[in-house]
């Protein structure tokens, strides 16, 4: 989901990159009435032993079908600077994921859903609308990154599908200030997560602007599976209709 529009690497952050964990670290933040900066919290699971043999090769084969283009900024949820009108990135759409990676689709509605439910004290469900329930985000080279935004869904699951050593870029950056409105503002006070293949993180991103940094090597590839989950207190019906019109031309 580089400075905006430039494809250049941003300065080193002042945030913290947490150590690799193989168990749940904490439950996601819940939205509240204060606008004071809040430390980002998430649950982390190492699923390398639960994923099918050859899963990364299958993911990379699916990533080859990514829709790569300049995606316009997302209405309602974007936290990009006004001057940024689009961000180049790739996406393997939900219908393609279901076709090429049926095991991943089953995990989203099965084991991954169970893990997401552990972070909430209320019922959790996957998206009924398959158009946005599970997609792959793809970055290749140094000119792509993922848009700085907040989420509308109460829980998001990210399965990192590729490894990126320290200094290679591709980190996921979460701002602590809910009012941060561009990449540089997010980077001032943030939590940084380095992708590790097979790691699933679950979080509430509604009050933490976040984005994915560009890669630093022109031949590098970053792939992450992105999953939307909903709760009884924030059901799928709360999804802003502008999002579907923006993505699919219809609500």
User: Looking at the chain, how many residues does it have?
Assistant: 251
Range 169-178 average pLDDT: 97
Where residue 37 falls among pLDDT bands split at 50, 70, 90?
A: low
Flag whether 197 is in a domain: yes
Across 5-9, 13-17, 35-39, 144-148, the highest mean pLDDT is recorded for: 144-148
Residue spans of alpha helices (H) in the chain: 55-63, 94-100, 102-109, 111-117, 130-133, 183-188, 241-248
Domain-located, residue 124: yes
Q: Give 202's strand partners.
A: 43, 157
**Would you state the pLDDT for residue 16?**
45
Which CATH number covers residue 215? Answer: 2.60.120.620
Q: How far is CA 39 from the centre of its chain?
A: 18
Residue 96, domain extent = 70-248
Q: Is residue 26 part of a domain?
A: no
Q: Give the tens place of pLDDT for each residue, 209-251.
A: 999 999 999 999 999 999 999 999 999 999 999 999 988 887 6
The pLDDT value recorded for residue 247 is: 87
Which tokens in the block code for residue 46?
Answer: 């190492």
* pLDDT, average across residues 125-136: 97
Distance CA 22, CA 47 (A): 8
Q: What is the pLDDT of residues 105-121, one digit of tens each?
A: 999 999 999 999 999 99
Instruction: Say if residue 10's pLDDT is above 70.
Output: no
- Over range 64-86, report the average pLDDT: 96
The rounded percent of the chain whose pLDDT value lies above 70 is: 85
Order the strands of the 172-175 sheet from edge to edge: 146-149, 210-212, 172-175, 190-193
In a domain, 3, yes or no: no
Q: Specify if 170 maps to a domain.
A: yes
Q: Is pLDDT at 137 greater than 80 in this prediction? A: yes
Q: 7 in a domain, yes or no?
A: no
Assess if residue 244 is contained within a domain: yes
For 43-76, letters b (16+ CB in 10 Å) and e give bbbebeeebeeebbebbeebbebbeeeebebbee
> For residue 166, is it within any domain?
yes
- The whole model's pTM is what? 0.85
Our count of domains for the chain comes to 1
Q: Look at residue 249 in the predicted model and tell me its pLDDT.
A: 83
């Amino acid at each position: 989901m580089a400075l905006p529009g430039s494809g250049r690497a941003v300065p080193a952050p002042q945030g913290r990159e947490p150590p690799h964990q193989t168990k749940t670290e904490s439950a996601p933040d819940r939205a509240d009435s204060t606008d004071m900066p809040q430390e980002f919290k998430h649950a982390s699971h190492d699923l390398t032993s639960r994923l099918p043999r050859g899963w990364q090769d299958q993911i990379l084969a699916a990533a080859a079908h990514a829709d790569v283009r300049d995606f316009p900024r997302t209405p309602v949820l974007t936290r990009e600077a006004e001057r940024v009108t689009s961000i180049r990135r790739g996406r393997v759409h939900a219908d393609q994921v279901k076709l090429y990676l049926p095991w991943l689709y089953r995990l989203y509605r099965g084991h991954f859903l169970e893990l997401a439910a552990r972070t909430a004290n209320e019922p959790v469900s996957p998206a009924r609308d398959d158009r946005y329930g599970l997609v792959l985000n793809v970055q290749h080279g140094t000119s792509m990154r993922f848009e700085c935004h907040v989420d509308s869904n109460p829980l998001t699951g990210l399965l990192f599908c590729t490894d990126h050593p320290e200094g290679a870029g591709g980190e996921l950056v979460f701002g602590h200030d809910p009012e941060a409105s561009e990449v540089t503002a997010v980077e001032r006070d943030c939590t940084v997560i380095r992708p590790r293949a097979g790691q699933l993180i679950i979080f509430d991103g509604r009050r933490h602007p976040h984005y994915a940094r560009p890669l630093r090597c022109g031949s590098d590839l970053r792939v992450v599976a992105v999953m939307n989950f909903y709760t009884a207190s924030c059901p799928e019906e709360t999804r802003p209709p502008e999002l579907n019109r923006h993505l699919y031309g219809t609500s």
